[in-house]
């Protein structure tokens, strides 16, 4: 068996084009949606990711801005920036880029973002709505996973879905989203303390790996014909690569591809969908605020 590649880049391009059309229609009756990103410190990965968000937003016609604060910024300074953006009527969506420096309580900052502008979906109110089955803003990566599977015609209703990882960014919100009416999957969440993880993964019709360990999922952990979604992004040493390292996922890609029916690559799978969903959430926020 040779697995079909689930092309996140292609699907994300379609989503971004749809967002751009929605932005154009919304801007025709007023101002274009506005997205503000708060970046604290100079983490290289965060800077690259924020730049990608900014570029994608501008290409979709969204007014994007990035507020940069030094790594020495205090919690009060970050909260003051969030309060200013909450009050700014030109801003429809607010993202606080993680991770934050150690002196700042990330939970306090995320809870300070207006729930109606929380396009990352991390505010306790938005997380609660998702858990209730009435999502408003869903975190971008979980939304991107489900959107990718839907557009690639991977059925989820009644299917056994195993999510590896219980983070508040991916694992937990993804499990809640998969359980909502209209998606109706049967969900198992496995994690670092799960006994005999492979016993769970081997019965999954759809396996989502978001555990943060390079190549964790081996071929003998996958049910033949399963769909495998790799959320992991790990940089590992590689002397043959131009920069001495390369990106890999949480799945041992080549061997698993010989077992699965469909699989997402890394890079080019879930990553592009995450940025596309940030844009979609921003458009949704703008529509809600103008309704």
Strand order across the 227-230 sheet: 4-5, 262-263, 227-230, 206-209, 160-164, 186-190
Of 92, 97, 118, 252, the active-site residue reads 97
Residue 97 falls in the annotated catalytic set: yes
User: How buried is 36 (Cβ within 10 angstroms: 0-12 exposed, 13-18 middle, 19+ buried)?
Assistant: buried
Instruction: Enter the tokens of residue 182.
Output: 């209209």
Instruction: Enter the tokens of residue 266.
Output: 């890394």
Contact criterion met (CB below 8 Å) for 57 and 94? no
Q: Of how many residues is the chain composed?
A: 291
Of 92, 117, 118, 120, the active-site residue reads 120
- Strand, helix or coil at 65? strand
- Measured between alpha carbons, how far is residue 271 from residues 40, 66, 141 in Å? 22, 20, 8
Residue 120 falls in the annotated catalytic set: yes
Residue 127 falls in the annotated catalytic set: no
CA distance 107 to 110: 5
Of 53, 117, 159, 172, the active-site residue reads 53
Active site residues: 53, 97, 120
């Amino acid at each position: 068996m040779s697995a079909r590649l689930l092309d996140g880049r292609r699907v994300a391009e379609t989503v971004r084009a749809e967002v751009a059309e929605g932005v154009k229609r919304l801007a025709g009756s007023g101002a274009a949606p506005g997205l503000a990103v708060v970046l604290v410190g100079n983490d290289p990965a965060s800077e690259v990711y924020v730049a990608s968000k900014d570029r994608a937003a501008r290409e979709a016609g969204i007014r994007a801005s990035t507020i940069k604060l030094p790594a020495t910024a205090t919690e009060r300074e970050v909260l003051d920036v969030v309060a200013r953006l909450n009050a700014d009527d030109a801003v429809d969506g607010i993202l606080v880029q993680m991770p934050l420096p150690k002196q700042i309580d990330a939970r306090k900052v995320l809870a300070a973002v207006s729930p109606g502008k929380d396009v990352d979906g991390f505010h306790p109110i938005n997380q609660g709505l998702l858990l209730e089955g009435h999502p408003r803003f869903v975190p971008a990566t979980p939304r991107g996973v489900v959107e990718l599977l839907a557009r690639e015609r991977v059925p989820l209703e009644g299917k056994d879905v195993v999510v590896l990882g219980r983070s508040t960014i991916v694992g937990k919100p993804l499990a809640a989203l998969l359980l909502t009416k209209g998606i109706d999957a049967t969900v198992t969440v496995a994690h670092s303390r799960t006994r005999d993880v492979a016993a769970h993964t081997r019965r999954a019709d759809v396996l989502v790996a978001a555990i943060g360990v390079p190549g964790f999922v081996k071929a003998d952990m996958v049910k033949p014909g399963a769909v495998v979604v790799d959320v992991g992004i790990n940089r590992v040493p590689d002397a043959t690569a131009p920069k001495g390292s390369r990106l890999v996922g949480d799945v041992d890609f080549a061997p698993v591809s010989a077992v699965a029916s469909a699989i997402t690559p890394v890079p080019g799978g879930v990553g592009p969908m995450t940025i596309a969903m940030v844009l979609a959430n921003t458009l949704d926020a703008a529509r809600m605020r103008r309704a």
